[in-house]
């Protein structure tokens, strides 16, 4: 919830699966079903190390499975998401 608040304050639309203790695949399915292009993965290991993974759901290849994602420092998450969002918007304008 803290991360969602930070993202919203930074002007980044953010959502989460409204289910108690959802499994990772359920969360991925939710993103794909609702057409959410990017996901942020934060587990206990990531919290401990001060990192996050950004998963791109707009990519539909086998390389983009649940273990993949771009690792970024937690402090750089908002900047990295803004870059990704910008590149997604540019892609849509071109395509």
> What are the angstrom distances between the C-alpha of 81 and each of 2, 22, 37, 63, 75?
16, 23, 11, 20, 12
Average pLDDT over residues 5-26: 86
Architecture in CATH of 2-94: 3-Layer(aba) Sandwich (3.40)
Are 71 and 50 spatial neighbours (Cβ–Cβ below 8 Å)?
no
For the chain, domain boundaries: 2-94
Phi, psi of 18 (to 5 degrees): -80, 65
pTM: 0.77
pLDDT value, residue 64: 47
Tell me the per-residue pLDDT of 16-73, one tens digit each, with 9 for 90 and over: 777 778 788 888 888 888 888 899 988 888 889 999 999 988 765 555 454 568 899 9
């Amino acid at each position: 919830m803290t991360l969602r608040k930070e993202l919203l304050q930074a002007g980044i639309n953010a959502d989460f699966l409204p289910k108690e203790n959802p499994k990772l695949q359920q969360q991925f399915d939710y993103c794909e079903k609702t057409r959410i292009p990017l996901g942020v993965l934060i587990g206990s290991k990531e919290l401990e190390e001060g990192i996050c993974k950004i998963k791109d759901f707009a990519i539909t290849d086998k390389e983009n499975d649940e273990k993949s994602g771009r690792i970024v420092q937690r402090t750089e998450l908002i900047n990295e998401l803004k870059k990704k969002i910008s590149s997604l918007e540019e892609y849509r304008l071109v395509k």
